[in-house]
Amino acid sequence: MRLVVPLQGVAQGRGGLLLGSVIPCALFCFLQLYFKRRRSPSDPPPPSTSSSNQPEMTRHSSLSNLLSRGPLRISSLATSIAKPDDSPYYMGLDKASEDPYNRIANPDGVIQLGLSENRLCFDLIEKWTSENLRDWVMGREGGDLSISGIATYQPYDGTMKLKMAMAGFMSRVIGRDVSYEPSQMVLTAGVTPAIETLCFCLADHGNAFLVPTPYYPSFDRDMKWRTGVELIPVHCRSKDDFVLSISVLDQAFNQTRKRETKIRGILLSNPANPVGNLLSREMLEALLKFAEEKNIHIISDEIFAGSIYEEKEFVSIAEVVGSEDVDKNRVHIVYGLSKDLFLPGVRVGMIYSFNENVLAAARKLTRFSSVSAPTQRLLVSMLSDTKFIVEYIQTNKKRIQDMRDLFVAGLEELGIKCTDSRSSLYCWADMRNLIPTYGEKGELELWEKLLNVGKINLTPGSACHCIEPGWFRCCFATLDKEDVHVVMERIRKVVGSRTSCG
């Protein structure tokens, strides 16, 4: 303060000072006056020796100190996260959950087509649990999963019993000759922390991952929020059926390098979300070669692997890695039970890696998001019932196919075509002809109309970073068959019925 006084005197009483000295002086002056005004005239200097034995003085000075200390700061992260989500993906989800459709209780509610859940076989799971888990908590005395076993601390990365059960389930669900090694698994409380944990292991703050677009909107949150990594979109187009190509990937890689941002890996979804297409074996091999050349990782999100119903084959990257002479250390798979078994509430996700160092790091990090022990017990019982699992997988695939056929046919009647992907719990609908203006603005206008007037929540392509406007993801596996025509009627009300040429 003493330093400022002479300058203040100089600045206040003078005119005609050179510009270079006026501005800093003015700034000093402004700051001093500003703080002077904020401080109460009768306030003692900030107490460094005040004792808590003088509550009155403490209270007075604490209040005034509060005023003089400026705004309370929380982390920059919290400040940005606490703001309401303005992405249409989240806004739509919120609206649908606030006013949920129910055929009987709330027939005018919002129909949720924005959540890629699979409710088609839930009746089978309900039946199994009521018949088989009367004593799920108690179990046999002793062992990992007896009652005294589950209450106590478990390995943070999941019990070996559950890992073995998951390994068996994954092999069956994918239906090919791939076996998964339980010791290469790290279990987490859902796929969300699995992806985040992998990011923490593979990338530092400011590093980047290449992600083919369109991609799952929540990656922006799950992967970026707390890790500080960047996601670089690699744009795929409708002329290529939204299939990734190495040349486009290479271009994105080089452009990012020019900005001096370090790329740590590629994040793939296979089956893709939201488009639903599959990566061919040749493409996976090419991607592995690319990753090796550039010395980066590949994360393959295979959470929808069990939703494929056509004869068309799904090839897990685990299979390609197993058979080729490739560097396995850069390959990591993410999986979970939320889609295939439809138990998203119980929170079970998995990192599957061939890299011992990544596994070691991930195991330590899972202390922040481990699977609840009673849930582990429930799932070990369920997944070990081979007969049930085989029947479930077959029935599930059939019902997904039936529902998809019904839904896609309904859209076609309205003149809306979907991409030819024979997998997953959603379809990628081409509504480019229906948006009022060609662009993101036009797409969002249609989305809003569908949500607020039509009362159906779809996911607009822009929320998925799709470079071409007019595409929408429609999740059909949360519907009952009877509701499909309700959906079509509502879409018709909003867009009218057009032929595919009109």
Partner 1 sequence: MEIKRKNKTQLLSKIATNDRHGENSPYFDGWKAYDNNPFHPTQNPNGVIQMGLAENKLCFDLIKKWIMENPDASICTAGGVDKFKDVAIFQDYHGLKEFREAIAKFMGRVGGNKVTFDASRIVMSSGATGANETIMFCLVNPGDAFLVPSPYYPGKLCRFARDLRWRTGLEIVPVDCKSSNNFRITRAAMEDAYEKAQKWNLNVKGIIIANPSNPLGTTLDIETMRSLVAFVNEKNIHLVCDEIYAATVFDSPRFVSVAEVIQDMDCCNRDLIHIVYSLSKDMGIPGFRVGIVYSFNDDVMLCARKMSSFGLVSSQTQYLLASMLSDDGFVGNFLRESSKRLAKRHYVFTKGLEQVGISCLTSNAGLFFWMDMRLLLKEQSFEGEIELWRVILNEVKLNVSPGSSFQCSEPGWFRVCFANMDDETVEVALNRIRAFVLNRENQESNRSKRCWRKKHLRLSFSSTRLYDETIMSPCMISPHSPLVRAKT
Report the nearest approach of partner 1 to the CB of residue 331 (Å).
12
> What Cα–Cα distance (Å) separates residue 434 from each residue in 57, 417, 455?
69, 12, 17
- Cα–Cα dist 65/47, whole Å: 9
- The span from the first CA to the last CA of the chain, in angstroms, equals 75
Pick 28 or 90: Cβ nearer partner 1: 90
Strand locations in 195-281 (E):
208-213, 230-235, 263-269
Q: What letter represents residue 156's amino acid?
A: Y
Say how many residues make up the chain: 502
Report the nearest approach of partner 1 to the CB of residue 439 (Å).
30
One residue of 3, 345, 387, 499 binding partner 1 per CB under 8 A: 345
What the block records as the tokens of 178 is: 């791939």
Pick 23 or 74: Cβ nearer partner 1: 74
Pick 194 or 275: Cβ nearer partner 1: 194
Is 73 an interacting residue with respect to partner 1 (CB under 8 A)? yes
Active-site annotation holder among 89, 101, 215, 216:
216
- To the query of whether residue 303 is one of the catalytic residues in this protein, the response is yes
- Cα–Cα dist 238/468, whole Å: 8
Report the nearest approach of partner 1 to the CB of residue 236 (Å).
26
Query: Are 211 and 267 within 8 A, CB to CB?
Result: yes
Query: Strand pairing partners for 349?
Result: 188, 336
Is 65 an interacting residue with respect to partner 1 (CB under 8 A)? yes
- Cα–Cα dist 206/30, whole Å: 37
Report the nearest approach of partner 1 to the CB of residue 170 (Å).
20
Which part of the chain contacts partner 1 (CB under 8 A), choosing from 104-112, 290-298, 300-308, 407-415? Answer: 290-298
Q: What is the DSSP letter of 69?
A: T
Return the residues of window 307-336 that contact partner 1 according to CB under 8 A: 329-330
Is 79 an interacting residue with respect to partner 1 (CB under 8 A)? yes
Pairing type for strands 331-336 and 297-301 reads parallel
Question: Using omega within 30 degrees of 0 as the cis cutoff, is the peptide bond preceding 212 cis?
Answer: no
What the block records as the tokens of 26 is: 């003015």
Active-site annotation holder among 303, 317, 351, 389:
303
One residue of 58, 238, 395, 433 binding partner 1 per CB under 8 A: 58
SS3 letters across 29-64: HHHHHHHHHHCCCCCCCCCCCCCCCCHHHHHHHHHH
Is 17 an interacting residue with respect to partner 1 (CB under 8 A)? no
Pick 207 or 384: Cβ nearer partner 1: 207
- To the query of whether residue 123 is one of the catalytic residues in this protein, the response is no
Q: Please list, residue by residue across 280-292, b when 16 or more beta carbons sit within 10 angstroms of its beta carbon and e when fewer do.
A: eeebbbbbbebbe
Is 99 an interacting residue with respect to partner 1 (CB under 8 A)? no
Is 137 an interacting residue with respect to partner 1 (CB under 8 A)? yes
Is 483 an interacting residue with respect to partner 1 (CB under 8 A)? no
Active-site annotation holder among 144, 157, 222, 301:
301
Q: What is the DSSP letter of 160?
A: H
Q: Provide the 3-class DSSP secondary structure of residue 235.
A: strand
Query: Hunting for tokens 């206008």 — which residue is that?
Result: 445
Pick 229 or 450: Cβ nearer partner 1: 229
Pick 188 or 421: Cβ nearer partner 1: 188
Which part of the chain contacts partner 1 (CB under 8 A), choosing from 35-43, 148-156, 176-184, 456-464? Answer: 148-156
One residue of 10, 32, 136, 224 binding partner 1 per CB under 8 A: 136
- To the query of whether residue 339 is one of the catalytic residues in this protein, the response is yes
- To the query of whether residue 455 is one of the catalytic residues in this protein, the response is no
Report the nearest approach of partner 1 to the CB of residue 51 (Å).
6
What the block records as the tokens of 307 is: 């939703």
Query: Are 411 and 418 within 8 A, CB to CB?
Result: yes
Report the nearest approach of partner 1 to the CB of residue 91 (Å).
14
One residue of 42, 52, 247, 499 binding partner 1 per CB under 8 A: 52
Q: Count interface residues toward partner 1 (CB under 8 A).
A: 90
Is 190 an interacting residue with respect to partner 1 (CB under 8 A)? yes
Is 105 an interacting residue with respect to partner 1 (CB under 8 A)? no
Is 147 an interacting residue with respect to partner 1 (CB under 8 A)? yes
Which part of the chain contacts partner 1 (CB under 8 A), choosing from 17-25, 70-78, 240-248, 304-312? Answer: 70-78
One residue of 157, 222, 302, 340 binding partner 1 per CB under 8 A: 222
What the block records as the tokens of 139 is: 């179990």
φ, ψ of residue 322 to 5 degrees: the values are -70, -35
Which part of the chain contacts partner 1 (CB under 8 A), choosing from 25-33, 192-200, 244-252, 399-407? Answer: 192-200
- Cα–Cα dist 344/357, whole Å: 29
Pick 366 or 419: Cβ nearer partner 1: 366
Number of H helices and E strands in the chain, helices first, is 18, 13
Return the residues of window 396-435 that contact partner 1 according to CB under 8 A: none
Active site positions, annotated: 216, 301, 303, 339
